[in-house]
Structures are given as structure tokens and as C-alpha cells.
Structure 1
Amino acid sequence: MQTIQNYINGTFEDPLSGDWLDNYCPANGEVYGKIPNSDQADVDKAYEAAKTAFPEWSETTLDHRSRLLLKIADLIETNLQRFAEAESQDNGKPVNLAKSIDIPRAASNFRFFAHAITQFSSESHESVGLNAINFTLRQPIGVVGCISPWNLPLYLFTWKIAPALAAGNCVIAKPSEITPLTAFLLSELCTEAGLPKGVLNIVHGLGKTTGQAIIEHPGIKAISFTGGTTTGAHIARTAAPLFKKLSLELGGKNPNIIFADCDYDAMLETTLRSSFSNQGQICLCGSRIFVETSIYEKFKADFVSKVKVLKVGHPSESGTNIGALVSQSHLEKVMTYIEEAPQEGGKILCGGHAVSVKGFENGYYLEPTVIEVATDTCKINQEEVFGPVVTIMPFETEDQVLDMANKVKYGLSATLWTNDLKRTMRLSKKLEAGIIWVNTWMLRDLRTPFGGMKSSGVGREGGFEALRFFTEAKNICIKY
């Protein structure tokens, strides 16, 4: 039985209340460990540790901070296999996916921000004729809170804490209670790397207890959160009277728009990946596929034939394309959307059923599912399903597909397939999404801003945007 503990002031500790939660393995549905359900007392203790560590950490040289983060990155890479297996055990994703994407990107987050902080500069402005000069200091905020989700556990956890630490803040972080294992393992590496006590504190538990204690703590000056839109709205309401800085990366219902002039073979392979990677449990997956009428029937036949041969299996098995969903409750939620789709005219072209994997019959497995919808306003086309489920429907004109693409409350990402440069520019400007991929998907450059519009959140992460969020700008005007 794996026992996960809080990491406070450089030491591992049980929850002060003695309250523990079961941790399930999605691949077999069995309890394999327990985690703390931390409360206000644990968060207070973590805050005191962070508050004590902040003065010295914030005054360390950029070179020193950079070297520590680079060492953590190296240690993650050294432990690649161990972390990939832990991520798979906790999340249900194929081990090979975690090994090739999640864990390397977690190391890249530390490495990128270790270098970025040494290039992050202040601005200065000479007031000509007034004998004055203004310059801007970028100073760390203090103690900040980072709350990450279960779908990309270590990748998104480090996406937040790396820039926060690089900027000189001390951090209280909460990973998802569903997938806490790799964050726990990371705390061991932070100690090994020599990160000072109290600089990073990791508290585990439920959102309504641990998360709530973080967002309402008056000493925690900023919150970076990735998760559901409803929870994001609650955080905003809670934080507003306390004047906390907020970065909220929330839900997505992303359009994948395919024109007849695209590179068809490249589009088909990438669309398969953008639909079902990580069991569709990525906020950037293209879950609404719109196809120009002239190639719609060909696409439908080709796409469905490829989806049907995707292998659903245990995450550790070679050749597994679709692993387990993260939890029983999430599987049931996704199934509800599939079952209700025909009531609004949806036609299930393939999939739609839970899967029993031999030897792991209690795991949370689901066939990749393609649903042809009659209208873009149906429930499954408007709400975030967050599973291996996509909808497809045809379109006639640019204006029609633009209207359908934008007619949701979300605005996180969009994918556009066309070789027409003028069309690319027209639609990219008009699509209501924070990131637009043209003739590709999930091609990320960590220097670029990342975030959503509308109900997909506020603020931007990535590159210098993250370092700006985790610092306060102070202008100094000197007359000489």
C-alpha cells in the first residue's frame, strides 16, 4: 500500500487531522494507496514555512535559482521510467505516452524557466526634457498557490511551480487528489536537488478542503489554477475580496475545422491524435470536428475505420492506444453524454460502450467514440465531455463554420486545416480561442502565451507571460 504524505518545510508529514483518502488505480479499479485530506491547519503550516523561507529565497541570485531548477530537470529525466510508470498507475494513460510526452515535458518546464528567468528584463524610459528616468522592477509576489488537475498530472503541476519558483516566490501547491503520486515523487527530487526548506510545499487533499483553504488564505497572494470552469468561477468569487492575482486555465470545447483543400493524409492522422490522445482527457483535444461538405463522406468513412482499430487496453501493454479513464465517476459521466446524444438526433458511428479488459475487468475503460450530430447546438456539442468522444458534422461555407465554431461558451483552442493562406488569416483572426493551430495540433513552443477566452479562463501562462504573472511590477521615477 503506497502512503503519500504532505511535503512541508522540506519534510514529509501526515495530515494533522489524521484524515486520509483512498487512491485508486484506474487500470484495475483497486485501491493502491492513501493520501492526506489536508485542511486549513495543514495549509497554515505550509504557509508559515513558505513565509519564513521567502526573504532568503527571493534574494538568491538568478544564477543560483537557475542551477537548482536545472538540477531538478536533470533528476526528472534520470528517473524517467519510474515517473512514467507512476503517472500511468495513477492516471490510467499508456506508459509509453507518459514516457514520451508527460514526463519529458515536465523536465522541459523546469529547464525552460531556469533559462527564461536569466533573460527576463525590466524596462526603462527616459523622460526627455524633464530630466527624469523611469524604470520598472519585477519583484516576486511572496507566497503563491498552484492548483493543478488530474489529466496531465506532472506536466501541468510543473508548468505552474517552475515559473513561480524561478521568479523567486515560495509555493504552496496542490495536485489533484485523483493523481497525486508523481507530485509526491517530485518532492523527493526537490530535496535531493537541494531546494531550500519551505520554498516548495505540497499539500494533498480534496478541492473543498485543501483547495478551499489555499484560495481563501489571506497570506497567499496569487492563485494559478487549471481545472473546470465551475471551480474556476468559485475561485474567482472567493479571491476577489482578497485582491489576489488569478490565472485560470479552464475548460475547452475546441473546434477542428477541416477544409477540402487540406493535406488530407496529414489531417487524418493528426485528427485521430487530437481526438483521442490521453483518452480525450486533454483540454486542447479537438472534440467538435467540422468537415467541408465535399469531403465529408470520405472523411467520415476513413476516420471511423481508423478509430475502430485503436486498441483499448491496459496502460502497460505494448500497442495500447486508449488506456483507462481516470475514475469510475468520470467514466459514468462520459457515458451519460453518449447515451443522451441520440435523443437530440446524434448517430453513434463507432464506439459508445464500456470495455472489459481481460484480467482487469474492474478498470475504467471506454471505446473511442464518434458521433455524427444533426445540429451544432446539441448538448454533446456544447458541453465539455473530456473523454474519448468526438462529434462530426458537415459545413458549407466559411461563415457557417465560423458561427458554429464560436457558438459555445468556451474559447481555449481551435484547429484549422487549409492550404489557403488568405482563409487562414481571415479565420484565425475571427476564431474566439486563445490558441489557433493551422495544419497541426499540440505543437507547443514554451515561449508563447497560453490561455483561453470566455469561459475558458483569464490570464496567460507560458514564457514571459508566466513570469509576469508571478511578479509584481513596481515603477521607480528618478528626477536628476
Structure 2
Amino acid sequence: MDILNFIDGDFAKPVQNASFIQKRPFNDNVIQVANSSALDLVKAIQGSHTAFNTWKDSSIEDRIDLVDKIADYLETHKNRFAESEAWDQGLNLQFSLQANIEAALKILSSQKAELQKGIPDNYSVLPVGVVGVVLSWNLSTRLFVEKVLPAVLAGNSVIVKISSYSPVTAKLWGELFRAIGLTSGLVQLLHSQDAAFKKLFITHPGIKALLVTGSLENTSEIIKTVAQMTTQQFKKLQIHSGSKNTAAALTEPNESEMNEILNSFLLGQGQLAWNSSRLFILEKHEQQWSDFVAHKLQTLKPSIDIHDSSPWTPLMKTKYVDQFASLMVQAKSDQAKIISADANLPSNKYVKPFFTKDMSNCSVLQQDQVMGPAFILSTVKYAFDIPKYSNVSYYGHSASVWTEVGKNQKTIHQLDVGLVSLNKWSVFQYSAIEGVKQSSFGNMNSHIFGDFYKNVKKLAGS
């Protein structure tokens, strides 16, 4: 078995010795991954409770020391982390290093600063207990630092269900935890495609809070399951779901900036939570942008491995490939013009990226999340028209706006999203994004001393 669970401080096969097969997107290399059952989860929960009873009383200094050890290890081994996850996630190496691993290091630095600042005055805080995290494959080390570590630094123990699409994340972090001597059971890492395991992970009363990153399809099922058990217990819930992100180009076009903006669409092929989906441009720049997009796609070649700098990478899931042809049909039925890549495909994991032009603002493609490189190019006469078209989406993760400093403030403030990134792609902003609409659900407080990872009590004087 290539990838094992990490339980009670060491790597372990599942109790029933079951496994599943995962193929890496670039080369179809087969990985055999531990397939945990409910028995493995129960064992992990027992170990997590034991670790929590020790760790909950740890000092701020102990927790800062933990951040330093993790940061030192990650800095030393960042190239191995970036390379391993780039192979699993179908991304180019340089992007994986910058947007995943180096981003994680910056987030660690901000977490250390939050710990040094301490608990706010007039508040008493206690950790909630065992926290369960369902981790997406999207830049998973970054998400691990952003979603899992705050729970630990708040004094909790954590059980993480690692994405089946990036199982190497468990191996990398298990090795890290073993190397730094992490308290046994404080962080448990499990893989599973077993339905009984997944249901128990959501409903077990020993898991006091649940944080989920994933698709709307999966997260909506989790919300339903949690709702059905509310007569027995309430559970803290934080959901990070889909996105339909806007990019707005409001400056005079130049090649460097145009390449940067297009990369926000193409790097990740529309599958990342941070990917742009709709590009809004000013009417006066329409011809320049149309010509640039057409030239870019027509000269684009598929990436063959992680060392290839092309942003045209394979799709992660077979169902995304299967659904992609219907998106082109839908765009044409909406009377949109198509600007498409035209190179030969190296395997059935690839699809041809395309932009639509002149698409109806009522099209479902303007509203729905699309897990693939089907993008929309929209022209507006004035910048203030962008929010009314952008906000028709069901999602509100983030937007990236290229504009002169101090201009278009009304447009920026009216965008109905969790984060607006100015003059850079949102993936290069390193604060947690608390999305709105169907991009999030539940208690979205991401701070170490906030009321998701902690039970917060206000202290009032007489």
C-alpha cells in the first residue's frame, strides 16, 4: 500500500486492510491508498480525545513553538511538498510552490502573530474538543495550514479526512508530524471512500465541530446529514463550497497584466476555488482583449508534466471531462461566440479551454459553477455596470480587480463576494476567505481565538 493513514503518531494500514486506487492526472501512475472503515475512525477518535485532554492546557508558548517547528520543517522541505502535490493535483511545479507551499508559510507567520497577540480582553475561551476537517485537494498544504492548524493552535485535537484526489498530502504531513515529535493523536490523517465512514465522520458525537472544504454537491449532502441529527446534538459547522469568481480588467491593456489576468483562469483549469470564471472588460478595450485571448488560446499547448510551464493542465476528475462537452453545447445554444484552444489533446484527461463572447446574462453558465476551463468574456461600457452582472451568480467567493489605485471604489464595494483582490489574483492573497451566498455556510470565524475553534465566553462586570 503506497499511502497509509496516520493515526496516533504513526503510519498505519486500515483495520480491514482495504485500499482504493487513485491515478495521478499527468501520467496515470497508480497509487494504492488506504480505505478506512468506521473501525479506523473510532480508533482515531479515541486517540484524539486522549491527546486533547493533554493539549487543551498547553501554553501559548507551547503553541508558538509548534508553529515554529512546522514552519522550519516546511521551509526546509518545501520543494518536496510542492513537487509531490503538483503531481497529485495536476499543477505546474512553480505555481504549486508559490501558491501552495510559500502561501502556507506566509499563513503560518500570520498565525504566529495572532498567538503572540493573545486572547482579547474580557473573553474566556475554551477549546471545543475534537474537530473534524474534510480537506479539499485544492492546494491542500495551504488549506491544511489555513483550516487544520488553527484548530490545533486553539487547543483542540483534529481528525482530517484527506481528499482522495491528493492522498500524498497525508504522507507529507505525517512525516512532518513524526519528525517534529507532535503529541500522539493530536492530528489524525485518514483516507476513505467508504460510505459508512463518511456518515460516521459527520455524525459521531465525539467530533464537536466540523469544517468542510469541497464541492457544493458534497457539502450540501453534509448539511442535510447534520440537519437530520440536530434532535440528538448540535455540532459547530463551517462549510467552504463553490465559486464563480469575477476578474475585472479596468486599466489600459498591457501584455504583462493581460497574461497575469488570463493565468487566473487557466492555472488550475477552472477547478480551483480561486480560479476566475468571468472576465469583465471595458467596451473601449474589447478588440485588444478579444485578439489577445484568441492568440493566447490558439498558441497554447497542453502541459505534459509538472515541469512544463504551460497553464493547460489535465482535469482531476473523469466526471469533469464527461460534463465539459455539454458546456460548449450550452454556450452555443445561448448564441455565444466561442474562442477556443486548438491543439491536439495528449490524453482523455484534457479538454480544450474556451472563452465565450456575447453570452446572455441570463444564461445558466453565468450563474453556475463550472469545474473546467469554460470561461466568459463580458464587455461593459462602464465599470459600475459590473456588479449587477457579476452578482447574478449563486456564489460569492472572491473577485480580482485590476484598476488604478483609488478608482472604481463603488464598483469594488458592490461586488457580492468574500474578498476583493486589487491588482493581483486572489490566490496570492493569504488571508482566509469567508465567502458569501453558496460559497459558505455556518460559523465562518477562522481566527484561532474565534468562536468556531473555541467556545467563547464574555466576562461582564457588575
CA distance in 2, matches of 1:236, 1:416: 32
Gaps spanning 5+ residues in structure 2: where? none
Gaps spanning 5+ residues in structure 1: where? 125-135
Alignment of 1:253-402 (within 5 A): 253-259=244-250, 261-262=251-252, 264-265=254-255, 267-351=257-341, 355-356=345-346, 361=347, 364-398=349-383, 400-402=385-387
Alignment of 1:102-251 (within 5 A): 102-124=100-122, 136-206=123-193, 208-240=195-227, 241=230, 242-251=233-242
2:420 pairs with 408, 422, 436, which one? 436
CA displacement at 1:418 relative to structure 2: 3.2
CA displacement at 1:366 relative to structure 2: 2.9
CA distance in 2, matches of 1:99, 1:209: 36
Give the corresponding residue for 2:436.
453
CA distance in 1, matches of 2:109, 2:299: 38
Query: Structure 1 residues 266, 30: CA separation in 2 closer, same or farther (over 3 Å shift)?
Result: closer
| Code of the aligned partner of 1:63 | E
Report the 3-state secondary structure (helix = DSSP H, G, I; strand = E; otherwise coil) of the residue aligned with 1:255: strand
CA displacement at 1:262 relative to structure 2: 4.5
CA distance in 2, matches of 1:40, 1:17: 10
> 1 or 2, which has the higher strand percentage?
1
| Code of the aligned partner of 2:458 | N
Query: Structure 1 residues 354, 222: CA separation in 2 closer, same or farther (over 3 Å shift)?
Result: farther
User: How far does the alpha carbon of each residue in 1:299-352 deviate from its partner, in whole angstroms, 9 at most, with x for none?
Assistant: 111222223333322223343332222133322233432343212212221227
Structure 1 residue 14 and structure 2 residue 13: aligned?
Answer: yes
Report the 3-state secondary structure (helix = DSSP H, G, I; strand = E; otherwise coil) of the residue aligned with 1:3: coil
CA distance in 1, matches of 2:365, 2:344: 18
| Code of the aligned partner of 2:244 | K
CA distance in 2, matches of 1:105, 1:41: 35
CA contact (8 A) 1:450 1:461 kept: no
- How large is the Cα RMSD of the aligned pairs? 2.4
User: How far does the alpha carbon of each residue in 1:345-404 deviate from its partner, in whole angstroms, 9 at most, with x for none?
Assistant: 122212277711xxxx46x22333222242122232222112233111212345543221
User: How far does the alpha carbon of each residue in 1:204-253 deviate from its partner, in whole angstroms, 9 at most, with x for none?
Assistant: 11374443321111111111111112322222233341321122111111
Give the corresponding residue for 2:49.
51
CA distance in 1, matches of 2:407, 2:86: 43
CA contact (8 A) 2:301 2:343 kept: no
Give the corresponding residue for 1:427.
411
Query: Structure 1 residues 462, 335: CA separation in 2 closer, same or farther (over 3 Å shift)?
Result: farther
Query: Structure 1 residues 411, 465: CA separation in 2 closer, same or farther (over 3 Å shift)?
Result: farther
CA distance in 2, matches of 1:94, 1:367: 18
| Code of the aligned partner of 1:205 | S
CA distance in 1, matches of 2:117, 2:371: 37
CA contact (8 A) 1:116 1:463 kept: no
CA distance in 2, matches of 1:438, 1:262: 15
CA distance in 1, matches of 2:444, 2:182: 24
User: How far does the alpha carbon of each residue in 1:407-460 deviate from its partner, in whole angstroms, 9 at most, with x for none?
Assistant: 111111122333373532x122221111112332226554x4521111111357
CA distance in 2, matches of 1:22, 1:169: 32
CA contact (8 A) 2:125 2:449 kept: no
